[in-house]
Amino acid sequence: MQISEAESVVMQALWQSSPLTAEDVFAAVAEDQDWQVPTVKTLLNRLLKKGAITARRDGRRFLYSPVLDRETWLDQQSESLLDRLFGGRVGPMVAHFSERGRLTEKDVVELRQILEKLDDGN
């Protein structure tokens, strides 16, 4: 399922807390996005058509909830990124970020811990 960058902002709000009304979603994203309520409603409708969310009538409004699991979406996005940009390989991706100074000391420590766990068979 292809979710656009704007749609992913709406999904993040729904993954954090749901069900939400369109106005609730707007309030959740308003600080970071220069959107109006109609924009949020358009994005919600797109996500409904894709089957990423559901809507349940609650009086005169709808309550939206995610169908697409965040972990499933993250798996799809990370696989797609690796395939498109790095031939499906993690090593070249890490090297890319390292060469551009994007890895912090904390990142390096975390990577070492991951590699140690792999070496230990965990």
45 membership: H or E segment, kind and range = helix 37-50
pLDDT per position as a tens digit, 77-116: 999 999 999 999 999 999 998 899 888 999 999 999 999 9
Average pLDDT over residues 24-49: 96
The predicted pLDDT at position 1 comes to 82
The predicted pLDDT at position 3 comes to 93
At residue 18, the 3 state secondary structure works out as coil
